[in-house]
């Protein structure tokens, strides 16, 4: 067995355990003597609670307690930045997900029966269920204590803003809408909790943010954060939906009232669909102006995000979308306006590529409209305007880090899927049309300005000379654990069997932020490299001591020993492990991600999360074939060329890109989380459709090798999100290229394709 | 109170405690239920033990046990490199210090009475008590199992060796002898030990080498080193005499037989004088050749060291002397021969400037002889030949580190004590003669080639936000503790009251070598700077985390807090201490001193400790006034200009130089440890004379500011030894300058001065 190496394609370290069902998830914990907790969610999107009778519920056999708002000891408010979501609603309900009571019972069945027996009387109130209603004069207020329904309102103004549009040779315009998307992870929200004899609240939970959870729980339930102990085993998917409290505060509340018994909560799919966070639905209005030669000149973008009842990260989602609103292009003048709007819809929050996949759809559609208007090749138009390092992007950020979009586009240009597109298009079978669409996209990595984006990594050698990476950023399935093992193995010269990973535990690992924002491997990984380098130099030093060498030159760390090359003498790691003290066998490394200084003065109304300094880039190509009889769009081939810096593990790199593209294809063609007057109409996978393996084309992923990101571990940067942004615009551009018209409303369902291609005029139009 | 600063003169951190008697020394430990141990030393320098009867001793009230060689469980051999000294002699005694039995008793008095009552019968054997006898054909062998009485025999040959002497314009020649010197520390050898319930041997002992002691004790008594726990409180002086086991193996042996009771051993002054290690007596024969213009051309030096009965560091002492045999000068050709000779005299070992103060006497006398022969100014002769960085010294070492002797000599040249010497000399009162002598000296720092010269430092912040430096290199009184506090305070921005130092403890500190060889502050200090820098960056990082800052820029570590300059927000160190885990509050730093690569091929017969790469340099001036009636030499003024790199604490720098000069003046004028046929004749301070305060002149110390040593912490290098080398040659040169003739035998007692100045011809003579 060879030592792990950076750049080597390797199977995921957790593959065997996961395939065999051995990997323990939070939902797999069945502590003895457990209680089960279940929330009572009346499903009323807007109303006043006028009665809540629990007697019948308490009479259900097996029901132990029914808790209500008055039983919550703290602020009873949760939320990542803005803490506005009640753990249990006190007097008002603001969306169908609001929980009004929490049943503790001896079994899931008893909990469900108890929840059904809680008598809730709610006086309905008026509600606002779409952007226009929420923004209307004298609209009903989702939060009565706020002056309006705007969670946030912000502007980016670069150069002369929108004014130069009037002087552009050409201006194109379009209005786009994007749907609510559900995370649809395999593993629903779940966890177990217990109030320990020492008063500590212990919780094992499916979470992307174990360290931050302590503050959310602590705030809601009035518990000091250092009395909360979170363990985060591997997640069966997260995609942002487990960033921030889901079951945590309810579980904590249950544990406080469980007389020391463990409490378990697992949301079923229906509860997950109702109560889980969602991707923001969006409306976008774009006007884009250029010179006759295709040089982009000015942009005016207006973007409305429906953030639902509670804040979650709504303002940050809007800000990130605005920061990306003009794509990876040079545009000297831009006015980008954003509105983040409360409605009584389910709460929207973090989801992979948050805010950005919406604007990518709009802007990349606009680029094809512009190409069409100018009679230009869409790839040439993109290439001509693509950002390079040293440019200033549309948010006014001077790009000092790797900026690979031009190289990605060049790879697309060289690829047969692009070069041979005409032949392929002409070979469409009867009743089919074929088109090839492009998208050039990017996605910031990291939290952005004003937020601490840092990690503290810990590596340990145990007394037997084996290594433990103490991961502090949850592994949602994206494979960061495997990347960390590969980094540690590479730096320490170790084989896979000598390395273990311990998943996040707030008692033994260190605050390193959430597993999100394309930051996980980048930020924690960089901290880990420092920890490993310290440990390596310490091990060589101690071996030099044991071998009584005059210095540590010519010592090498090998899988089971430190060897002195000139003499071939060695000390085994077991000997070193036995000799070294516990404090000596642990090394910490810390890293604070680079921040943008000075902050450009382009943005107003922004809270935190702006600007970013690291971006990943991707050029996507979709070949689509449309059945003109049914309107079904089939993606027959997909190419994603990605600048993610230096690649740690090519196989996993491509897998993550393929996963992102797959989720993006779902967003483009199938996924549409529908509510009607605030009530969920897509309650499960029978109506909320995600693509299966047979719905997906072969997804070719190519790494752009021209760029490495100097600030990242081994030159890498995060690619968890960027792939999500390409499919919707690339497919929409492909559908248009097939002559089916421009569709500006996602997903591109057969009905919309037929409506559009056959009779509807495109919403987007050419101005001037 | 201001934070500590490097370069600031500050009182020693331990001054108040020491003056008030609060500083606990090893001899201050009086554990409950203690036994006292006392060695039985018959005082016979060479003989065979034919009888050892303990009955009478055991009958003494209070005597508990009498142990003999058969009670020693291990090898019964101690020694730093060569393990040849019995803990308790088995059949042979080889010097008057040999212990044949160990008495354990309830009181010191009972132990003494018991020791006196042990009946030892020793058959005398022939003995060798001087170099010639020991080296004679068919000499009696000190160690019957060796082929002769040479512990070591080595040669340095540079260029054409001694051959070019024949072609030199001038050659001077001299033979010199130097005395045995005792360390004469305030605190004699002492300690307490106990066999702990878990089988660990615990010892609190006055030692310069707590970590290495474990190996000496373990070897002698067959105990694994990791079952030996040593604590080393502050020493009341060491000077090399506590480098290597003194009481350790005896105490350990006693503890093994004490049924778990603590055992205490304190050598009284007489035992310390008999059994303690000594400075090697030396005979040196030098021939030095130069061009007519004073350019040094060739040297032939032959040096014999009387190493006594056991090896200790005899070979290493000889090697270090040979490495310095030609002073800090450029000499293209040299042959340096060394003999390290066993006799039945008390064992010679490590002592401040070991090996070097002997050759400094010889070579600097030769330089004055040469100046006299050439009619040159002795300062000009030295300056013209002085080494500079980039030169190759007489051992063939290419000097790549700071080399400040020329700058030191220049400072002497500018000093009034030199410039106004003629006037002063002429103003000698009646019956007095005055002279001014110079010496240019150097001393290697660190262990030298082949030996690991490394340290591992540990700094800790306690949960209240105060700092603990875990010293691993004993503080003998030289003040390294204070230097470490100053370094930590400087790097961490802390005031003295927020820092504590914990003296070496093998359980909580890390192996960092001995407190010796001018390496203590340099090597451990450098490791400590790394540890402090890590801790500082960790504290800033954690404060940034608590303050939710986007990065750690603009954070400063202040005495009680970390402060964010732009906002003036801060986190107290107490808050950080409470928040951080134990493993997080500890930082280790490691340093391996630079080694010389490639090793020049000049040396043969060397074991370890050659070559060195760091040297400190010093130019000394002594004004002496000789009473022509009594022969008494009075040093009236003394100047020491020292290149010790950048100065950490000027006050302590000068104090250490002054201490070295004082000890050197003792060596030059008073100290003469006399044995006759292997028996000690200077049994205490009534006959072994050390200078008191009134015997010493004002000693002016000047730091040469031209040089900083890039490899050292804050640019410093060790000065613990170099000052010892100047006084004897400077004073001898002063006496000659006063017209009292050249004295080649130290110390320069009144009898020798009178003998020499009045009627004896100088041993040194001018050849050619």
Segment B132-143, tens digit of pLDDT: 999 999 999 999
* Nearest beta carbon to residue B551 from set A511, A537, A592: A592
Average pLDDT over residues B663-674: 98
Instruction: For chain B, give every residue range classified as CATH 3.30.365.10.
Output: 15-22+454-592, 278-448+598-766
**Using one digit for the tens of pLDDT, what is the confidence trace for B178-221?**
999 999 999 999 999 999 999 999 999 999 999 999 999 999 99
Report how many Cβ contacts below 8 Å link chain A to chain B.
Answer: 71
CB contact under 8 Å between A452 and B545, yes or no, is yes
Q: Count CA within 13 A, CB hemisphere, residue B317.
A: 33
Give B 591-630 residues with CB within 8 A of chain A.
592, 594-595
Correct CATH for A278-448+598-767 of 3.30.1360.200, 3.30.70.940, 3.30.1490.20, 3.30.365.10: 3.30.365.10
pLDDT at B15 over 50: yes
* ipTM of model: 0.95
Q: For chain B, how many residues are written?
A: 768
* Nearest beta carbon to residue B583 from set A451, A583, A595: A583
Enter the tokens of residue B47.
């003989």
**Using one digit for the tens of pLDDT, what is the confidence trace for B29-56?**
999 999 999 999 999 999 999 999 999 9
State how far residue B453 is from chain A, nearest Cα, in angstroms.
7
**Using one digit for the tens of pLDDT, what is the confidence trace for B684-710?**
999 999 999 999 999 999 999 888 999
Q: Work out the pLDDT band at B455, boundaries 50, 70, 90.
A: very high
CB-based contact, B537 to chain A, within 8 Å: yes
Instruction: For chain A, give every residue range classified as CATH 3.90.1170.50.
Output: 31-125+189-266
Radius of gyration of chain A (CA): 27
Query: How high is the pLDDT of residue A765?
Result: 46
Residues of A in contact with B523 (CB under 8 A): none
Instruction: For chain A, give every residue range classified as CATH 3.30.365.10.
Output: 15-22+454-592, 278-448+598-767
> How is chain B split among helix, strand and coil, in percent rounded to 5?
30, 25, 45
Task: Name the burial class of residue B722, with classes exposed (0-12), middle (13-18) and buried (19+) by CB atoms within 10 angstroms of its CB.
Answer: buried
Longest Cα–Cα distance in chain A: 85
CB-based contact, B50 to chain A, within 8 Å: no
Helix (H) or strand (E) holding B110: helix B108-117
Q: Which of A227, A452, A505, A575 to mutate to test the interface with B (most CBs of B within 10 A)?
A: A452
Query: How high is the pLDDT of residue B760?
Result: 39
Residues of B in contact with A543 (CB under 8 A): none
Q: Are B712 and B522 in contact (CB under 8 A)?
A: yes
Q: Are A290 and A296 in contact (CB under 8 A)?
A: yes
CATH 1.10.3720.10 is right for the domain spanning B15-22+454-592: no
Q: Tell which residue, B338, B333, B324, B373, has the closest CA to residue B172.
A: B373
In chain B, % of residues over pLDDT 70? 98
* Nearest beta carbon to residue B452 from set A450, A453, A549: A549
Chain-centre distance for alpha carbon A761: 35
Q: Work out the pLDDT band at B757, boundaries 50, 70, 90.
A: low
Sign of CA dihedral A727, A353, A510, A614: positive
CB-based contact, B295 to chain A, within 8 Å: no
- Distance between CA atoms of B355 and B315, rounded to whole angstroms? 10
Torsion of CA A93, A96, A98, A102, to 10 degrees: 120
Q: Which of B526, B550, B567 to mutate to test the interface with A (most CBs of A within 10 A)?
A: B550
CB contact under 8 Å between A590 and B456, yes or no, is no
State how far residue A126 is from chain B, nearest Cα, in angstroms.
40
* Nearest beta carbon to residue B586 from set A451, A548, A583: A583
Query: How high is the pLDDT of residue A757?
Result: 63
**Using one digit for the tens of pLDDT, what is the confidence trace for A445-488?**
999 999 999 999 999 999 999 999 999 999 999 999 999 999 99
Chain-centre distance for alpha carbon A534: 32
* Nearest beta carbon to residue A590 from set B541, B588, B592: B541
In chain B, % of residues over pLDDT 90? 97
Q: Are B29 and B264 in contact (CB under 8 A)?
A: yes
- Distance between CA atoms of B732 and B742, rounded to whole angstroms? 7
- Give the CATH number of domain A31-125+189-266: 3.90.1170.50
SS (H, E, C) B545-592: HHCCCCCCCCEEEECCEEEECCCCEEEEHHHHHHHCCCHHHEEEEEEE
State how far residue B538 is from chain A, nearest Cα, in angstroms.
8
CA angle B329, B333, B335 (to 5 degrees): 100
* Nearest beta carbon to residue A545 from set B450, B511, B552: B511
Q: Are B500 and B455 in contact (CB under 8 A)?
A: no
Query: How high is the pLDDT of residue B764?
Result: 45
CB contact under 8 Å between B452 and A579, yes or no, is no
Q: Tell which residue, B646, B647, B642, has the closest CA to residue B658.
A: B642
In this structure, of A480-489, B163-172, B258-267, B756-765, the range with the lowest mean pLDDT score is B756-765
**Using one digit for the tens of pLDDT, what is the confidence trace for A608-666?**
899 999 999 999 999 999 999 999 999 999 999 999 999 999 999 999 999 999 999 99
CB-based contact, B580 to chain A, within 8 Å: no
**Using one digit for the tens of pLDDT, what is the confidence trace for B624-645?**
999 999 999 999 999 999 999 9
State how far residue B550 is from chain A, nearest Cα, in angstroms.
4
CB-based contact, A575 to chain B, within 8 Å: no
* Nearest beta carbon to residue B550 from set A579, A590, A595: A595
**Using one digit for the tens of pLDDT, what is the confidence trace for B562-611?**
999 999 999 999 999 999 999 999 999 999 999 998 999 999 999 889 99
CATH 2.60.40.790 is right for the domain spanning B278-448+598-766: no
Query: How high is the pLDDT of residue B668?
Result: 98
**Using one digit for the tens of pLDDT, what is the confidence trace for B92-104?**
999 999 999 999 9
Q: What is the mean pLDDT of each run of 10 residues along chain A (768 residues)?
A: 94 92 95 98 97 97 98 97 96 97 98 98 97 97 95 97 98 98 97 98 98 98 97 97 97 98 98 98 98 98 98 97 98 98 98 98 98 98 98 94 97 98 97 97 95 97 98 96 97 97 98 97 98 98 96 96 98 98 98 94 92 97 97 98 97 97 98 97 97 96 92 97 98 97 96 75 44
- Distance between CA atoms of B229 and B508, rounded to whole angstroms? 10
Chain-centre distance for alpha carbon A4: 28
- Distance between CA atoms of B219 and B227, rounded to whole angstroms? 12
What are φ and ψ of residue A519, in 5° steps?
Answer: -105, -10
Enter the tokens of residue B724.
């010892």
Q: Which of B229, B535, B590 to mutate to test the interface with A (most CBs of A within 10 A)?
A: B590
CB contact under 8 Å between A511 and B588, yes or no, is no
CB-based contact, B586 to chain A, within 8 Å: yes
State how far residue A464 is from chain B, nearest Cα, in angstroms.
17
């Amino acid at each position: 067995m060879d030592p792990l190496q950076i750049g080597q394609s390797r199977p995921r370290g957790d593959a065997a355990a996961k395939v065999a069902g051995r990997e323990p998830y939070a939902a797999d914990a069945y502590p003895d003597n457990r209680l089960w907790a279940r929330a009572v969610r009346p499903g009323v999107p807007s109303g006043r609670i006028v009665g809540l009778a629990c007697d019948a519920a308490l009479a259900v056999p097996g029901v132990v307690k029914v808790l209500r708002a008055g039983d919550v000891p703290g602020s009873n408010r949760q939320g990542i930045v803005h803490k506005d979501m009640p753990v249990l609603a006190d007097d008002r309900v603001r969306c169908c997900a609001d929980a009004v009571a929490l049943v503790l019972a001896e079994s899931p069945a008893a909990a469900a029966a108890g929840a059904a027996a809680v008598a809730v009387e709610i006086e309905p109130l008026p509600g606002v269920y779409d952007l226009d209603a929420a923004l209307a004069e004298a609209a009903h207020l989702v939060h009565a204590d706020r002056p309006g329904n705007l969670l946030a309102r912000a502007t980016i103004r670069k150069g002369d803003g929108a004014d130069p549009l009037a002087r552009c040779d050409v201006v194109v315009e379009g209005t786009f809408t994007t749907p609510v998307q559900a995370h649809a992870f395999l593993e629903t929200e779940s966890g177990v909790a217990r109030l320990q004899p020492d008063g500590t609240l212990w919780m094992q939970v499916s979470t992307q943010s174990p360290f931050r959870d302590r503050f959310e729980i602590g705030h809601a339930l009035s518990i000091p954060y250092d009395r909360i102990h979170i363990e985060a085993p591997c997640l069966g998917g997260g995609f942002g939906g487990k960033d921030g409290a889901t079951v945590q505060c309810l579980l904590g509340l249950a544990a406080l009232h469980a007389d020391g018994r463990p409490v378990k909560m697992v949301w079923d799919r229906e509860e997950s669909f109702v109560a889980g966070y969602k991707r923001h639905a969006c409306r976008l209005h774009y006007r884009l102006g250029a010179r006759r030669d295709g040089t982009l000149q000015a942009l005016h973008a207006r973007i409305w995000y429906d953030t639902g009842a509670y804040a979650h990260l709504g303002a940050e989602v809007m800000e990130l979308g605005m920061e990306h609103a003009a794509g990876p292009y040079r545009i000297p003048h831009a006015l980008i306006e954003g509105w983040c709007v409360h409605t009584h819809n389910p709460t929207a929050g973090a989801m992979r590529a948050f805010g950005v996949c919406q604007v990518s759809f709009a802007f990349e559609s606009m680029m094809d409209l512009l190409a069409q208007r100018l009679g230009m090749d869409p790839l040439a138009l993109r290439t001509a305007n693509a950002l390079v390092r040293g440019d200033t992007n549309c948010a006014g950020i001077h790009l000092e880090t790797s900026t690979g979009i031009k190289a990605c586009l060049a790879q697309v240009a060289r690829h047969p899927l692009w070069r041979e597109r005409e032949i392929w298009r002409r070979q469409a079978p009867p009743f089919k049309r074929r088109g090839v669409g492009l998208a050039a996209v990017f996605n910031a990595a990291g939290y952005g300005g004003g937020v601490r984006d840092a990690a503290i990594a810990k590596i340990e050698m145990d007394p037997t000379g084996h290594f433990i990476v103490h991961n502090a950023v949850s592994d949602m399935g994206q494979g960061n654990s495997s990347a960390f093992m590969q980094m540690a193995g590479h730096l320490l010269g170790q084989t896979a069997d000598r390395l273990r990973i311990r998943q996040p535990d707030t008692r033994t690992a260190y605050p390193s932020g959430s597993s999100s924002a394309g930051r996980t491997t980048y930020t924690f990984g960089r901290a880990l490299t420092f920890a490993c380098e310290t440990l390596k130099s310490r091990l060589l030093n101690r071996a030099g001591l044991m071998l009584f060498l005059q210095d540590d030159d010519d010592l090498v760390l090998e899988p089971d020993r430190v060897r002195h090359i000139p003499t071939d003498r060695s000390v085994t790691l077991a000997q070193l492990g036995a000799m070294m003290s516990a404090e000596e066998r642990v090394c910490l490394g810390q890293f604070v991600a680079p921040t943008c200084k000075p902050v450009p003065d382009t943005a107003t109304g922004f809270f935190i999360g702006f600007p970013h300094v690291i971006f990943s880039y991707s050029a996507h190509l979709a070949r689509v074939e449309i059945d003109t009889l049914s309107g079904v769009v089939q993606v027959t081939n997909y190419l994603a060329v990605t600048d993610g810096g230096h690649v740690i593990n090519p196989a996993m790199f491509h897998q993550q890109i393929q996963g992102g593209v797959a989720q993006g294809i779902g967003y483009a063609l199938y996924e549409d989380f529908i509510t009607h007057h605030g009530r969920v109409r897509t309650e499960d996978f029978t109506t909320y459709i995600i693509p299966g393996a047979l719905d997906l084309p072969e997804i070719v992923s190519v790494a752009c090798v021209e760029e490495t990101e100097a600030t990242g571990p081994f030159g890498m940067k995060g690619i968890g999100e960027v792939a999500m942004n390409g499919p919707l615009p690339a497919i929409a551009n492909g559908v248009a290229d097939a002559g089916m018209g421009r569709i500006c409303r996602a997903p591109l369902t057969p009905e919309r394709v037929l409506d559009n291609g056959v009779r509807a005029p495109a919403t987007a139009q050419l101005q001037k």
